[in-house]
Amino acid sequence: MSLFKNKKVLGLTSALVLASMLVGCGGTTPSTSTEDIENNTPEEQVLETDVVVIGAGGAGLASALEVRNAGKEAIILEKMPVVGGNTLRATGGLNAAETSVQSELGIEDSKDKFYEDTMKGGHDKNIPELVKTLTQNAADAVEWLIDLGGDFTNVGRLGGASNDRAHRPEGGDPVGPEVVSTLRTVLEDKGMEVMTNTTATEVLSEDGVVTGVVAEDEEGNELTILADAVIISTGGFGANSEMQVEYNSELEGFGTTNHPGATGDGIKMALELGAGLTQIKEIQTHPTTLPNDGYMITEAVRGNGALLINRDGERFIDEIETRDVVSEAILSQENGTAFLFFNQEIADSLGAIDGYIKRGLTVEGETIEELAETLEIPADKITETVEKYNGFVAAGEDTDFNRADMPRSIEGGKYYAIQVTPSVHHTMGGLTINTDAQVLTEDGEVIEGLFAAGEVVGGVHGGNRLGGNALADIVVFGRIAGQNAAK
């Protein structure tokens, strides 16, 4: 079955541009007759399909696949030159409770506890029915990805979680690339293409019903795509500093962990149709990013046992507290920075750390003394901190900061440190949706034919997103959006 339900690609330049966008993306180039090219003008470029998906990150890829699984066609638009979006940068894990992987590893967990942790982590600002949808369906999302060929056999714990439920590839390798690779491979096998370097500029509607999308390619050629439904999966606005400051002035001057395409386009287009916004001021910082460029160091480093120390060589916070709490604690330290401190055993426990070491992001020492000299921190202070923490591990109780999960002591081997500071990471606020992923107006009315999933949506994470919940969010609600858009 062709990608296009009914296609017209008109104008010689336009036909060649469209062909170039599709070549190499896993599908075939749509045919355009010489007669069509000669007899029509570029102003008449029109395609028609069942569903248009705007944004080819994890949520967009998941939704497009479910559209195809329902027997319908989808055109996927991506303004960046590659697919994946922020999902490619996700490293920690995909949270889910009561999965087959947890069962095989002997991990006892419950969807109810997952719900409680998510609401507590979001300071109870989350919309309960959205959180229930997330937590009840996350296990199915993991099983779905595994059935598609993904590797999610390693399970760890991230900040704010009361249990090990962050699913990731064997060895603790980054989870986001695995999600993207798994979905992209299946989409390509089904002959579905992504039109990269193609920016949606407007969602069309008539009498309150969505009818398609206007898009523009990298050469400025305009394309109209008529469709029965549109899914907005463009991500948040974590790379749009002006938009961040508009909604939260305290974030002026912050760096970002986001890819450059996360500029809030989907929110802006939906607002033109009267869409409502939910908790738009709720913007999260990630506590452990590089001071100069916002490069994110996954929360899983702390989850696997790393400590946070200041320039006095002392701990100052429960390392696996929620991101907002840890961010605030780091900003209160000298220079607004701290050091992630860990040894070789912790490094060996998480594949992502090997990548940091190879990139030269770590300071290393064969002994604590050698590392302390490089960091210009008194060695006896770090040694005292480590010995005290190891005592907590042995006793099973952290009497300083009440860290609940201390997976291992820090004894022997090479020692490492990474200087970190908070950067803008996730925009929890966004478009208002219901549990069917339908976009709602300010008055709570459904905008017929318009769906949204992923970071572009508000209300799922409340005032603070737990690490591992973004990946669960994009797959769960991406699937829901795709299934319902196909109807």
- Tell me the pLDDT tens digit for each residue of 60-119: 999 999 999 999 999 999 999 999 999 999 999 999 999 999 999 999 999 999 999 999
Can you give the pLDDT at residue 43?
A: 53
Integer Cα distance of 117 and 290 in angstroms: 28
Residue pair 99/111 in contact by the 8 Å Cβ criterion: no
Q: For residue 29, is pLDDT > 90?
A: no
Can you give the pLDDT at residue 260?
A: 95
Buried b (16+ CB within 10 A) or exposed e, 372-395: beebebebebbeebbeebeebbee
Q: For residue 440, is pLDDT > 80?
A: yes
Residue pair 220/203 in contact by the 8 Å Cβ criterion: no
Can you give the pLDDT at residue 79?
A: 98
Tokens standing for 423? 């950067």
Q: Which domains does the chain have, with CATH numbers?
A: 1-281+428-487 (3.50.50.60), 285-423 (3.90.700.10)
Instruction: Tell me whether residue 337 is exposed, middle or buried, using C-beta atoms within 10 angstroms of its C-beta: 0 to 12, 13 to 18, 19 or more.
Output: middle
Can you give the pLDDT at residue 40?
A: 46
Q: Which of 68, 302, 315, 323 is catalytic?
A: 323
Q: For 254-279, how does the pLDDT look when each residue is reduced to its tens digit (9 = 90+)?
A: 999 999 999 999 999 999 999 999 99
Q: Residue 199 in 3-state DSSP?
A: strand
Can you give the pLDDT at residue 13?
A: 30
Q: For residue 1, is pLDDT > 60?
A: no
Lowest mean pLDDT segment, chosen from 38-52, 83-97, 232-246, 354-368 = 38-52
Average pLDDT across the chain, whole number: 91
Q: For residue 430, is pLDDT > 60?
A: yes
- How many residues appear in the chain? 487
CA 91 to chain centre: 9
Can you give the pLDDT at residue 253?
A: 86
Q: For residue 296, is pLDDT > 50?
A: yes
Is 465 considered catalytic here? no
Q: Percent of the chain scored above 90 by pLDDT?
A: 88
Alpha helices in 122-219 (DSSP H): 128-147, 176-189
What mean pLDDT comes out for the span 444-468? 97
Q: For 306-343, how does the pLDDT look when each residue is reduced to its tens digit (9 = 90+)?
A: 999 999 999 999 999 999 999 999 999 999 999 999 99
Q: For residue 200, is pLDDT > 50?
A: yes
Q: In 150-220, at which residue ranges do the beta strands (DSSP E only) sit?
A: 154-156, 166-168, 194-195, 198-206, 209-217
Question: Strands 46-48, 6-8: parallel, antiparallel or unpaired by DSSP?
Answer: antiparallel
Q: Residue 86: name the closest of 330, 240, 215, 260 by CA.
A: 260
Unique residue bearing structure tokens 């992502």: 352
Residue pair 74/52 in contact by the 8 Å Cβ criterion: yes
Can you give the pLDDT at residue 482?
A: 98
Q: For residue 3, is pLDDT > 50?
A: no
Question: How many Cβ atoms are within 10 Å of 481's Cβ, its own excluded?
Answer: 34
Question: Strands 51-54, 415-427: parallel, antiparallel or unpaired by DSSP?
Answer: unpaired
Can you give the pLDDT at residue 173?
A: 93
Unique residue bearing structure tokens 């638009």: 77
What mean pLDDT comes out for the span 151-176? 96
Can you give the pLDDT at residue 19?
A: 36
What mean pLDDT comes out for the span 147-173? 96
Question: Which residues lie across from 339 on neighbouring strands?
Answer: 309, 419
Give the predicted TM-score (pTM) of the model. Answer: 0.83
Question: How many Cβ atoms are within 10 Å of 292's Cβ, its own excluded?
Answer: 9
Sorting pLDDT into bands at 50, 70 and 90, what band is 292?
confident
Can you give the pLDDT at residue 293?
A: 86
